[in-house]
Amino acid sequence: MAAKKLSIGVLTSHGGTNLQSIIDASNEGRLDAEIRVVICNNSRAAALERARREGIPVRHLSGKTHSGEAELDDAIASTLTEHGSEVVVLAGYMKKLGPVTLGRFAGRILNVHPALLPKFGGQGMYGLSVHRAVLDAGESVSGVSIHVVDEHYDHGPVIAQRQVDVLDGDTPEDLAERVLEQEHALYPETLQKIASGEIDLLKIACD
């Protein structure tokens, strides 16, 4: 009998390259997980096409589909639940989650951040703004952090990190490219550790 796979729900907003890295790892047997649903707040996002090509159910849920924040929060939480999501993965999701989703999946929502938290996190710290801040601060290393999501931006417990050297002459775009490459590696690896039990999210939530 095949081992039970980790059931994942993914929230994303744009291109979905981290989503693709998780799909690829699962297809190639490096990740014992199944993406049960992809939720996107952007109906034209390339991430939706990536999911559709794999036969993964997709849902567009945003301020255009739901008039109020509470209604949208309920819809996101219900969709994740209906598709049997055990762990929720934010993969470039650009909206803050509401209290219903945070409460229902407390300790089981993950996000990837393109810096070594707790440095260079918080509201407004996303995309090239993070890499500009790293370079402006004269840091010699940056990297990738995967953390448990709570009600504050980039605040929950960090469960995995990987360093990326800052090179002489780096532009924000240069650094972003190398950091993203490590995001694509670290996210599936971390999810596999959760799937195998090496990382216990319940224990982390209780600590």
Distance CA 61, CA 40 (A): 6
Confidence of residue 72 (pLDDT cuts 50, 70, 90): very high
Task: Give the strands of the sheet with 109-113, arranged side by side.
Answer: 58-60, 33-40, 6-12, 87-91, 109-113, 141-148, 158-165
Residue 113 a catalytic site member: yes
141-148/158-165 β-pairing = antiparallel
Residues 147-198 pLDDT 10s: 999 999 899 999 999 999 999 999 999 999 999 999 999 999 999 999 999 9
The three-state secondary structure class of 1 is coil
Judged against a pLDDT cut of 50, whether residue 39 lies above it is answered with yes
Residue with tokens 């240069």: 174
Q: What is the CA radius of gyration of the chain?
A: 17
Could you tell me the domains of the chain? 6-200 (3.40.50.170)
Distance CA 119, CA 39 (A): 29
Query: Roughly how many angstroms between the first and final C-alpha of the chain, as a whole number?
Result: 34
Burial of 64 (0-12, 13-18, 19+ CB in 10 A): exposed
- Residue from 158, 145, 125, 127 nearest 187 by CA: 145
Give the CA angle between residues 181, 186, 187 to the nearest 5°: 105
DSSP string, 86-126: SEEEEES--SPPPHHHHHHTTT-EEEEESS-TTTT-STT--
**Which residue of the set 14, 83, 113, 184 is catalytic?**
113
Residues 77-98 pLDDT 10s: 999 999 999 999 999 999 999 9
Confidence of residue 1 (pLDDT cuts 50, 70, 90): very low
Residues 100-143 pLDDT 10s: 999 999 999 999 999 999 999 999 899 999 999 999 999 999 99
